[in-house]
Structure 1
Amino acid sequence: MDTQKKNFFIIMFTNFLVAGSTTMIMPFLSLYIESLGNFSDEYVQRWSGLVFGVTFVAALIMSPIWGRIADKYGFKPILIINGFGIAISIFLMGTADSVSELFMIRLFMGVVTGFIPTSLAFVSSQTSKESAGKTLGTLQMGSVSGTLFGPVLGGLMADAFGFKYTFLITAIVITIAALFVVFGLHEIKRVKAKDGHVYAPKTIINGILNHRLMLNVMIITALIQIGNFSIQPLLSLYVAELTEGSVQVAFLAGITFSATGVGNILFARRWGRLGDSIGYEKVLGFLLLLSFVFIIPQAFVTELWQLIILRLFFGMAVGGMIPTTTALMRREAPIEIQGEIMGYNTSFRFLGNIIGPVFGGIISGVIGISSVFIVTGLLFIFAFVFLRSTLAKPQQDFEDVLLEQELKNT
């Protein structure tokens, strides 16, 4: 097996372990907060949101920094730091004696969170532009598979062993993933252009802001994540409405949640391969329309099986979006700054992760849970129109834009 294939399989396997492990703690995070003291329901709910969200806030800030370091020293060191950092964070979560201590640990975890986005950037940097979509789509199957099994396994382990031992087991699994990276991954040195040079952070930021396609695709990435995360915290409540009187709401909500992931796994590779052949912009636009078509009817279902089928189809559509946008970044960004560009794109993803649940909560509180599907559908349509208007304008070469900004800064 050649080095590139070996690297790919190691990254896919470790993504499965990390995604599965980090989502294992999600089902009982609020219960864990409740166990740290005699708190009111309002206190637990408020701090659950803060403890969950602070990780994404820190990750949003750190992603471009890690990306810039990766451009200079390679992606493998960052993957190692992220892997062991996440493992230490989760172990320390199990030793927390107060909610404030747990909050600070989750804040630290955000600083080192980024294993999966960094692995996407690593594989992208080692893959030709012509096959980036298919490769990244295949890679996503590993992390999505982990997120399907993680919450279920985490809930079972918390019931069987308790919270603290579940944190310990989770930390051990992520440590194993990090060790696979240390001893199994071999980063192929990227060949930089002869005339390549180091761009200042200010130049890169101004370059992104002045390159229509790059900036708008990052904004679309945030909109995609807002659409994905706006309904997730409310899905179990929606399932409860559809299955009134059922004693298996948690189980049925899990199945409904997993349906999206199954659709994601089935089609992520196909969309990536299609993007390689006909263009990532065309595939991204089609997927945004398809997401709109499949999410709007979810607001009008009357039976759970209808919702599950629509979530499956919706997963088929959204499954190709992140690999497609990542491959597009791979195509546009010069090799010298690919890590930093991927870092900014990851920041926009985390921004969507933060806004999504808040956005969904506000909409559902004002006009009901079912309306969240309609508003989210309109977001996808807005993203589609935004993309089309961008593509209608003259194309820009990103390197030319960077050089122009560099001249302005001198």
Structure 2
Amino acid sequence: MHPERSESNLDEQRLLKRNLLIMWFSNFFVGGSMTMVLPFISLYIKTLGNFSETYVQHWAGITFAATFVTAFFFSPVLGRLGDRYGRKRILIALGMGMSVSLFLMGVVETVWQLFTLRLFMGFFAGMVSITQAFISTQTPKHMAGRVLGTLQTGSIAGTLLGPLIGGFLADSFGYALTFKGTSAIILISVILIFSAREHKLKPKEDKKTFYTRIEVIQHILGNPALATVLFISMLIQVALFSIQPILALFVSELHGPENLAFISGLAFSAAGVGNLMMARKWGDLADRKGYLNILIILLLSGAAIYTFGAFVTEVWQLVLIRFGLGITTGGIIPVRMAYIRQEAPIAIQGEVLGYNTSLRFLGNIVGPVLGGFLAGSLGFASVFIVTSALLLISGLTLLAVTRRMHLLKSGAH
């Protein structure tokens, strides 16, 4: 190896480690900020007028989903802009927009104003996926799973701590001031991103630097496994989000009203703890054993574990199952990102990740609606059964596509 090339590789590795550390803390603050205010949106709506419980529940759901609706349409656009003009600029703009949106939520006087701002914030909600693209394009393929798994732990850690910090601030200083405090935390992320240095690995396999939107879609559809991985992103989110709106109600049925908020929070957070423990390890394993192989194992394992949710009779069983689900699903996001890093040229990775994020947000919208309908019509057990079925379908579909690709390659040789 030439000394100049070796020194260049060392410089790239140092830069990657520095940027990874910056983006880890950025994702930690963004993940925490996004979840700090979610637990008390319904309580905040109550303070805006003299409303009935039905009205509050109705608008809490609509207001919660509003951000995902806008983000669904806008995420691919953000990814494309990042590919063309640089992701650091996009991240700074997104952070500023999110910070302003959250600050204004702290001064609203009507539910309609809160809803409008939640809708507006969807334009900036793809911040985490842009940081993934930022790191992905400077990460060698052979270590993408481990690096992106490490990055994922930042968002998970923030998401776990966010509700606790948000609840403490809301109880101590009020809801409006908590929104303003959350806005300030997002600004910390923006300051961190200013210190990052954007860099892309020189593509060896593809010298093309610009793709039209049609060419990007053709690239996705021309790769059956990549298209399947993107599509099952939606199914996975439907499965994971189907239980979230009715989790507290299920805990109440199992445990009763005593310490309901604490026990519900424990059941909710159990999956996040499992995620945090295993995200990096699954990514590292996938680097060595193959991304599709590990992704299939995770999906089928998650389906098997969540099936037991239909038969729980005690809260500790539910917490254990949620923890097990977190262990399996903890690797799905970094392994999926690493596979996209492997299959998508560097010049279009932001846009491809944008489509992936868009489909995930669609799942975030469909999941709670489906879960609420199933629980109300067929009982809580049906939610776990349908969730398991969706994970099983995702795993078997990816397995079938992977086997078909291997057969086609064998035939070609």
**Which TM-score tier does this pair reach, normalised by the shorter chain?**
over 0.9
Match of 2:325 in 1: 314
Report the 3-state secondary structure (helix = DSSP H, G, I; strand = E; otherwise coil) of the residue aligned with 1:2: helix
Match of 1:403 in 2: none
Match of 2:178 in 1: 166
Q: CA deviation at 1:206?
A: 3.3
Match of 1:39 in 2: 51
Question: Where in structure 2 are the equivalents of 1:97-108 lying within 5 Å?
Answer: 97-108=109-120
Opposite residue 150 of structure 1, the aligned amino acid is G
Match of 1:294 in 2: 305
Match of 1:407 in 2: none
Q: CA deviation at 1:197?
A: 4.0
Question: Where in structure 2 are the equivalents of 1:88-99 lying within 5 Å?
Answer: 88-99=100-111
Q: Per-residue displacement from partner, 1:159-184 (whole Å, max 9, x unpaired)?
A: 110111111111011111111111x2
Opposite residue 30 of structure 1, the aligned amino acid is S
Match of 2:130 in 1: 118
Q: CA deviation at 1:394?
A: 3.1
Aligned residues: 395
Equivalent pair of 1:218/1:348 in contact (CA under 8 Å): yes
Report the 3-state secondary structure (helix = DSSP H, G, I; strand = E; otherwise coil) of the residue aligned with 1:392: helix
Task: Give the unaligned 5+ runs of structure 2.
Answer: 1-12, 409-413
- What is the distance in 1 between the residues matched to 2:131 and 2:359? 17
Q: Per-residue displacement from partner, 1:261-297 (whole Å, max 9, x unpaired)?
A: 1111111111101110010000000001110121111
Q: CA RMSD in A?
A: 1.6
Opposite residue 382 of structure 2, the aligned amino acid is S
Pair 1:357 & 2:372 matched:
no
Task: Give the unaligned 5+ runs of structure 1.
Answer: 398-410
Q: Per-residue displacement from partner, 1:224-268 (whole Å, max 9, x unpaired)?
A: 111111101111111111112x42010011111111111111111
- What is the distance in 1 between the residues matched to 2:128 and 2:86? 15
Equivalent pair of 1:30/1:48 in contact (CA under 8 Å): yes
Opposite residue 300 of structure 1, the aligned amino acid is F
Equivalent pair of 1:56/1:354 in contact (CA under 8 Å): yes
Match of 1:26 in 2: 38
Q: CA deviation at 1:305?
A: 1.1
Pair 1:130 & 2:131 matched:
no
Equivalent residue in structure 1 for 2:80, among 43, 62, 68: 68
Match of 1:53 in 2: 65
Equivalent pair of 1:211/1:396 in contact (CA under 8 Å): no
- TM superposition score normalised by structure 1: 0.93
- What is the distance in 2 between the residues matched to 1:180 and 1:327? 24
Report the 3-state secondary structure (helix = DSSP H, G, I; strand = E; otherwise coil) of the residue aligned with 2:405: coil
- TM superposition score normalised by structure 2: 0.93
- What is the distance in 2 between the residues matched to 1:104 and 1:225? 24
Equivalent pair of 2:68/2:362 in contact (CA under 8 Å): yes
Report the 3-state secondary structure (helix = DSSP H, G, I; strand = E; otherwise coil) of the residue aligned with 1:187: coil
Match of 2:352 in 1: 341
Pair 1:153 & 2:165 matched:
yes
Match of 2:5 in 1: none
Equivalent pair of 2:160/2:269 in contact (CA under 8 Å): yes
Q: CA deviation at 1:104?
A: 1.2
Report the 3-state secondary structure (helix = DSSP H, G, I; strand = E; otherwise coil) of the residue aligned with 1:393: helix
Pair 1:109 & 2:121 matched:
yes
Equivalent residue in structure 2 for 1:206, among 210, 218, 235: 218
- What is the distance in 1 between the residues matched to 2:302 and 2:61? 27
Q: CA deviation at 1:209?
A: 3.0
Opposite residue 118 of structure 2, the aligned amino acid is R
Match of 2:26 in 1: 14
Change in 2 beyond 3 A, CA 1:104/1:243: same
Equivalent pair of 2:145/2:334 in contact (CA under 8 Å): yes
Moved over 6 A (4+): none
Opposite residue 320 of structure 1, the aligned amino acid is G
- What is the distance in 2 between the residues matched to 1:301 and 1:43? 32
Change in 2 beyond 3 A, CA 1:264/1:164: same
Q: CA deviation at 1:396?
A: 12
Match of 1:195 in 2: 207
- What is the distance in 1 between the residues matched to 2:130 and 2:15? 18
Identity percentage of aligned residues: 46
